[in-house]
A and B are shown apart, each in its own frame.
With several copies, the nearest count.
Chain A
Amino acid sequence: MYTLTGLELKNPTILAAGILGTTGASLCRVACEGGAGAVVTKSIGPMPKTGHPNPSMVRLECGFLNAMGLPNPSYPGFLQELEIAKKDSGVPVIASIFGGTAAEFTEVAEGLLPGKPDAFELNVSCPHAEGYGAAVGTNPCLVEAITAAVKDVVNVPVWVKLSPNVSDITCIGTAAESGGADAVVAINTLKGMAIDIESGYPVLGNRSGGLSGKAVKPVAVKCVYDLYTALEIPIIGVGGVSSWQDAVEMMMAGASAVQIGSAVYDRVDIFSEISTGIEAFLQRKGYSNVKRLIGLSHEMV
């Protein structure tokens, strides 16, 4: 057991947003069978969205490309799923939310409060978000305002999920911190695309999308490393974690916990596999607990 922004986690592996998070039952399965220390729901918005046409996700030689288009039943539709997850998962349940404006974010957060999420994760980083031309998450002022607005209306921790598709991720991380974020989550997917050369069609229904999985791990590690230097608040590392070694690497870069997304492709119990692996590593190295790993690489000079 250890504490992350006030939540008690039995291990530092967390289900990432948008992965197996459409239903309460699925979230429970990831926690119970899968062994996740906490679970994040799919991102929920103010209005029901069916998302982009298929293909919405394909596996590449290295990693995965997806453009789901934030499908979600909106917060009223999702409340019952959140309640199931809270009742049966036995782990902290973090509600991922998105919107185009601060007002939409607070509307969704308040709408989900009856479901008693243990924390909120603000998805300001989706490359497909509407409203402001580019994604909300490339604008530090907006990120700060949205974070502050949500902090104002909820009394649980607020995590802010960052996009790597920016010149300087620490600048957005700092904005989240200034807005009162309890933690940042890095990274969301990298902008990417694949083309079917037989036909010339882009493969994704949305033409382009986000890259995840093994391909993005070095990028995620670098983002976490830089954020660790710039921020006081904890960083949750995500992007390409698919083994305990990856999780340890992410923590040494500065992550207080890791999220796992695409790697559920291999097996749902990747969470217990990774947390067991981390424990064995700590034992072998004689480290008292997982906190010893956090940011360790910064000391090695």
Chain B
Amino acid sequence: MLPLNATIVHITEESPSIRTFFFDLEFETMEPGQFVMVWIRGVDEVPMGLSRKNSITVQKVGEATSKLFELKEGDSFGLRGPFGKGFSLPSKGEKILIIAGGVGSAPLAPYADAACAVDSKVDTILGARSADDLIFEERFAAAGEVYVSTDDGSKGTKGFVTDILSRLDVLLYDRIAVCGPEIMMASVFRLLEDRKVLEKAEFSLHRYFKCGIGVCGACCIDRSGLRVCKDGPVFSGVQLLDSELGRYTRDASGRRVKI
């Protein structure tokens, strides 16, 4: 598919560096955790999780995201997707733990919405650098309990999501869904591995995407050789055993880069 034309209908300032862009397309079949390739014409095309069936939530980090931040309502960008494998949807009544760090909340908020819609009980550990950087707290709160951690202690527990996680009884949950900076996910992974609950945990990974459709191989992870763009971005904890998670990633040339 060629990129669809998405016109921005509304922009929400979620935090100083994070904005949600609502567009005039609805990806009705979207599974929470799936992503779209966002084409900022003349600049670059980058992957973004869908934060709703008609929105992406973007942190400004570099060239493409900065250009995106220059766009106004009525402007447009290209969209291909939704692509990849999302989080496994909960069944009615299951107990869910969501662990979201920073902009990692973007693909997890629709997961909380979906879980809530089937009457799952959802607890969320929401981490960010500071109170200002917390996003989608209300959406998670609408689905259940929210435990907040901030690096600077400006809200909730001072410290990391793992500080909260280590105090919870993870055995109580049927599913655990994780997305955030890789360092955070690696700590969570080790903790859940120790507690022997990896088989019920899912992690949404980030790697450098070129094709985004599972052909080029740029996003493959060691040692499984699985493609983050097509076999993921959401992987079960078991799939990530003995993987590169938290150790290295690859840059656009395919060179390994330490994390």
Do chains A and B make direct contact within the complex (CB under 8 angstroms)?
yes
Across the A-B interface, the 3 shortest Cβ-Cβ residue pairs: A29-B225, A54-B45, A25-B225
A72 CB contact (under 8 Å) in B37, B42, B78, B254: B254
Interface stretch of the complex, out of A16-24, A111-119, A130-138, A181-189: A16-24
Q: Which residues of A contact B227 (CB under 8 A)?
A: 20, 26
Binary contact readout A68-90 vs B (1 if CB under 8 angstroms, 0 otherwise): 10011110011011000000000
A265 and B253 contact, CB distance less than 8 A: no
Q: Is B187 an interface residue (CB 8 A)?
A: no
Number of interface residues of B (CB under 8 A): 40
* 11 A–B contacts, CB within 8 A, in A order: A22-B218, A26-B225, A48-B255, A51-B210, A54-B46, A57-B216, A68-B210, A68-B211, A73-B253, A265-B214, A265-B215
B216 and A22 contact, CB distance less than 8 A: yes
CA distance A106 to B98 in the complex (A): 53
Number of interface residues of A (CB under 8 A): 49
Chain A residue nearest to B43 (CB atoms) is: A53
Q: Is A60 an interface residue (CB 8 A)?
A: yes
B42 and A201 contact, CB distance less than 8 A: yes
New contact pairs (11) apart from A66-B211, A196-B2, CB-CB < 8 Å: A18-B216, A23-B220, A23-B225, A26-B220, A51-B252, A53-B44, A59-B213, A60-B2, A64-B215, A196-B3, A262-B215
Given A199-B76, A203-B3 in contact, is the A57-B213 Cβ separation under 8 Å? yes
CA distance A19 to B211 in the complex (A): 10
Q: Is B250 an interface residue (CB 8 A)?
A: yes
Q: Is A264 an interface residue (CB 8 A)?
A: yes
Binary contact readout B216-259 vs A (1 if CB under 8 angstroms, 0 otherwise): 11101111111100000000000000000000001111111000
A22 CB contact (under 8 Å) in B1, B213, B223, B250: B250
B41 and A23 contact, CB distance less than 8 A: no
Q: Is B206 an interface residue (CB 8 A)?
A: no
A196 and B78 contact, CB distance less than 8 A: yes
